[in-house]
Homo-oligomer: A and B are copies of this chain.
Amino acid sequence: MAEQFDPATHPHRRFNPLTGEHVLVSPHRTKRPWLGQTEPPQPTDLPTYDPACYLCPGNARAGGERNPAYAQTMVFTNDFAAVLPPPAPTAPPAPHPLLTTRPVDGQCDVLVFHPRHDVTLPRLAHADMLTVVAEWARVYAARGRQPGVAHVQIFENKGAMMGCSNPHPHGQVWSLSEVPTIPATELANLARYAAAPTAAPSDAPRGPKGCPCLLCEYVHFERSVPANEGRIVVQNEHWVALVPWWATWPFEILLLPYHRHIPSLLHLTDKENDSFARILSAMTKRYDNLFQCSFAYSMGIHQRPVPAPDGVQDDDDDDVAHLHLHFFPPLLRSATVRKFLVGFELMAEAQRDLTPEQAAQRLRACSEVHYLDAPAEVAA
């Protein structure tokens, strides 16, 4: 009597073991018409240099300083930083145990990816992408080893619909005296899994002290699923980009190394950095090709909160971290129709219509040649 369960048809819930939260999946609903607000189209014909851009070489910034004539990347302190350098004043006693205040200090850096105003990550040449990857590692090491820094968060907001005010390709690095909520939760769940794994031992790589790693196990399983049924979008000799089983955003991607347990950017070999740059290029090109637009997203790098101090051996507790990047893109069904994270999702639980498997299938079907570089007949 009972119908066969089909995850591409029947509403269900999936569990995110990194955050401990659920997502409600409503695959039968993908056909509903869109009556809501649409986004303005992204500008496509950007100049290579914009005299009004505060990130272009030689231009003045909000704080009055002038950018150097930089040739590769550029890093500077955010003129409107969310935290300020130490020391922070001591907080007074809480007026009530439920109303606690902890002063936070740290640094907010801006990391400009390239001198050209119009070259986003998917449009970077391989050598330039390698420079960005090296710069992320350099800033992580420099800020993470400053006294008092407990966590370094590298992220990028791309596109006006992600609140990004400037199309010049750049990301940010916020280094704080506290470990923020989400990385702290992920680290706690990684540590919990290492101590009490829920899966039987596999031949996946192991984390520190020979304990299983949640992400090593997860990506190992995903690589065993037949490619046309699974969630992997693209992979190379060290890295996998996949739409995770528990994805919240329509075309969310989790990018991570699979062939060994890698706690941070500083653990990458030259070869792993090279394949990192290649897969970043391959997956962001597919993003742009999906709706033939500059695909908006928020990206974040999760890894060890800060590097081990100089001279300290690896394999300490924080090495339970497994380096990974989250890409959360808002677009849903075209270059101008986005997902809104509102209502039920703000009040109760994340929700999606398109399944992660369907999203991965759509992204796999995209070309790895950027649509702006493709011959006209291919791009059409």
Q: Which A residues form the contact surface with B (CB < 8 A)? A: 2-7, 10-15, 17, 21-22, 24, 26, 28-29, 31-37, 40, 62, 79-84, 87-92, 95-105, 151, 153, 155-157, 160-166, 172, 174, 176, 178, 180-183, 198-199, 214, 217-218, 221, 225, 245, 298-300, 302, 326, 328, 340-344, 346-351
Q: B99 touching A221 by the CB < 8 A rule?
A: yes
In the bound complex, how far is the Cα of B221 from the Cα of A134, in angstroms?
51
Q: How far is the CA of A43 from the CA of B227 in the complex (A)?
A: 48
B347 touches A298 (CB 8 A): yes
Question: Dominant SS at the A interface?
Answer: loop
Contact yes or no, B343 A180, CB < 8 A: no
Whether the Cβ atoms of B217 and A98 lie closer than 8 Å is yes
Report the 10 A-B pairs with minimum CB-CB distance, sorted nearest first. Answer: A300-B347, A163-B340, A180-B349, A180-B348, A35-B165, A32-B80, A5-B89, A36-B165, A37-B160, A26-B82
CA distance A29 to B198 in the complex (A): 44
Assess the B33–A62 pair: CB atoms within 8 A: yes
Check B344–A155 contact: CB distance below 8 A. Answer: yes
Residue in B91, B101, B225, B343 whose CB lies within 8 Å of A155: B343
Copies of this chain present in the complex amount to 2
Contact among B2, B181, B221 for A350, CB-based, below 8 A: B181
Check A83–B24 contact: CB distance below 8 A.
yes
B174–A344 contact, CB under 8 A? Answer: yes
Q: Which of A28, A79, A104, A300 has most B Cβ within 10 Å?
A: A104
A350 partner residues in chain B, CB cutoff 8 A: 181
A11–B103 alpha-carbon span in the complex (Å): 6
- A263 and B341 CA atoms in complex are apart in Å by 27
A156, B180: Cα distance in complex, Å: 30
Across the interface, A104 reaches (CB within 8 A) one of B24, B96, B199, B214, namely B24
B4 touches A89 (CB 8 A): yes
The listed residue (B98, B164, B340, B346) touching A36 by CB distance below 8 A is B164
Q: Are B298 and A326 in contact (CB under 8 A)?
A: no
Task: List, in ascending order, chain B residues with CB within 8 A of A225's CB.
Answer: 95
B22 and A342 contacting across the interface, CB-CB below 8 Å: no
Q: Are B346 and A166 in contact (CB under 8 A)?
A: no
CA distance A344 to B347 in the complex (A): 21
> In the complex, what distance in Å separates the CA atom of A126 from the CA atom of B82?
43
Inter-chain CA distance A96–B13, complex, in Å, is 15
Distance from A157 Cβ to chain B, minimum over Cβ atoms (Å): 4
Chain B neighbourhood of A87, CB < 8 A:
2
Interchain CA distance A113-B92 in the complex, whole Å: 46
Contact for A97 among B3, B10, B199, CB less than 8 A? B199
